[in-house]
Amino acid sequence: MIRFEHVTKRYADGTTAVDDLSFEVAAGELVTLVGPSGCGKTTTMKMVNRLIEPTDGRIFLDGEDISGVDPVELRRRIGYVIQQVGLFPHKTVLDNTATVPHLLGVKKSEARLRAAELLDLVGLDPKVYGSRYPEQLSGGQRQRVGVARALAADPPVLLMDEPFGAVDPVVRERLQNEFLKLQSQVRKTVLFVTHDIEEAVRLGDRIAVYGQGTIEQFDAPAVVLGAPATPYVADFVGADRGLKRLSVTPIEESDLEQPPVVHLDDPMRTAAQRLADQGARWAVVLDGEDNLHGWIPAESANQRGKDGTVREHARRMEAWLPVGASLKQAFSTMLQHDAGWIAVIDDAGEGRFLGVLTPARLHEALRRSIDADGRRVSRREVEVETVG
């Protein structure tokens, strides 16, 4: 969708901001550009919508060399959220959001209807916020308006330059979550600039780690964290990169163990027999629909003279997660419930029981997140074409 071929930008004073850059972003992919101040992130981004012209090299959008595309026409296809939000102070939130479609010739009333939908989408009730002016909003709310405005013309491509830079960490995390949810619905091709490695790792399908005007590594978050390409990248992602990797590696079905399973209406004798056969200390208890109910320890199953059914002795299970949750959530759930294992259920429908995650399996899953070649796109499936 976006392809850089040997792109260099030298400013008039001789500063080389971007040096022989080649990379490609697939359609629907979210790529984060991360690196220290002054490394060329904004310059890279502004060359995509021709606010800055490269000194050398070519940039393609959807296969078309953008140097031949009229900049105004080009910018219609590209939403842009700038570093300082840049809302018009004298326009209401609704009119700020409606600006681009209106400029593109959409009737004002229609543009406003669309703007109201978008404000809703980014979590701002248009009835409450639509008629306010930017100065009457919090920093986080302003940034949401910035995102809504960039989406207003429904462009296939979004450029976002530190869109959540000006808010505190708590609000920022909420905006990030909302944005991920939004992106899973709208599936734009996104270049997202940040200097915060945590943010880059959370949001990116892939991350481009910048050195000075060059990309040091371009990979999935788990790979950048698990196998940094250079000492510079290792230093940039930080000494706690192992911990960070927990948060970008999802639980998969193949990570799970299959303990003995009994049902609520099974006689206790059957349960005791199954535990003894498998030499297990506990069994998972399911209801009639194979949904998770709880667990039963071997002691209570083995006590002599116990009749009746599993139902009377089962304990509730609080430590469970849906498949696809991160290993970090798994670890945190184990700690929170002081549990030696957690149950994992289907993330769709009724929550069918799939298996359990143990600390040993958690460790294996973390190692699995980068394969032997250190290559793996771990989170959402994206079509990734490599650059020669």
Contact 323, 347 (CB under 8 A): yes
DSSP letter string, 26-84: -TT-EEEEE-STTSSHHHHHHHHTTSS--SEEEEEETTEEGGGS-HHHHHHTEEEE-TT
What is the closest distance, in whole angstroms, from the C-beta atom of residue 352 to ligand ATP in the complex? 46
Q: Which is nearer to Mg ion, 30 or 193 (CB)?
A: 193
What is the closest distance, in whole angstroms, from the C-beta atom of residue 38 to ligand ATP in the complex? 4
**Cα 68 to Cα 285: distance, rounded to the nearest angstrom:** 65
168 scored as a contact of ligand ATP (CB under 6 A): no
User: Which of the ranges 13-21, 53-61, 347-355, 364-372 carries the binding residues for ligand ATP, by CB under 6 A?
Assistant: 13-21
249 scored as a contact of Mg ion (CB under 5 A): no
Binding residue (CB under 6 A) for ligand ATP from 30, 39, 150, 342: 39
Neighbours of 144 (CB within 10 A): 27
Q: Which is nearer to ligand ATP, 47 or 370 (CB)?
A: 47
Q: What are 277's two structure tokens? A: 């056969």
Count of positions on this chain that bind Mg ion (CB under 5 A): 1
Work out the angle between the directed axes of helices 241-248 and 327-336 (0-180°, nearest 10).
Answer: 100
**306-308-309-314 Cα dihedral, nearest 10 degrees:** -50
Residues with Cβ < 8 Å from 364, sequence gap 6 or more?
A: 255
What is the closest distance, in whole angstroms, from the C-beta atom of residue 143 to ligand ATP in the complex? 16
42 scored as a contact of Mg ion (CB under 5 A): yes
What is the closest distance, in whole angstroms, from the C-beta atom of residue 238 to ligand ATP in the complex? 18
What is the closest distance, in whole angstroms, from the C-beta atom of residue 79 to Mg ion in the complex? 17
Count of positions on this chain that bind ligand ATP (CB under 6 A): 12
84 scored as a contact of ligand ATP (CB under 6 A): no
Q: Which is nearer to Mg ion, 78 or 296 (CB)?
A: 78
Rounded to 5 degrees, φ, ψ at 249 are: -110, 120
Residue 122 touches which of Mg ion, ligand ATP, none (Cβ within 5-8 Å per kind) = none
Residue 111 touches which of Mg ion, ligand ATP, none (Cβ within 5-8 Å per kind) = none
Q: Which is nearer to Mg ion, 52 or 280 (CB)?
A: 52
H or E, element range at 144: helix 139-151
Return the amino acid letter for 21: L
**Cα 388 to Cα 344: distance, rounded to the nearest angstrom:** 40
Q: Which is nearer to Mg ion, 122 or 193 (CB)?
A: 193
Rounded to 5 degrees, φ, ψ at 320 are: -145, 160
Contact 3, 59 (CB under 8 A): yes
What is the closest distance, in whole angstroms, from the C-beta atom of residue 33 to ligand ATP in the complex? 8
Give residues 191-210 in contact with ligand ATP (rule: CB under 6 A): 195
15 scored as a contact of ligand ATP (CB under 6 A): yes
**H-helix segments, 187-248:** 197-203, 221-226, 231-237, 241-248
Binding residue (CB under 6 A) for ligand ATP from 7, 25, 32, 41: 41
What is the closest distance, in whole angstroms, from the C-beta atom of residue 240 to ligand ATP in the complex? 22
13 scored as a contact of ligand ATP (CB under 6 A): yes
Neighbours of 286 (CB within 10 A): 21
What residues line the site for ligand ATP (CB under 6 A)?
11, 13, 15, 17, 37-43, 195
What residues line the site for Mg ion (CB under 5 A)?
42
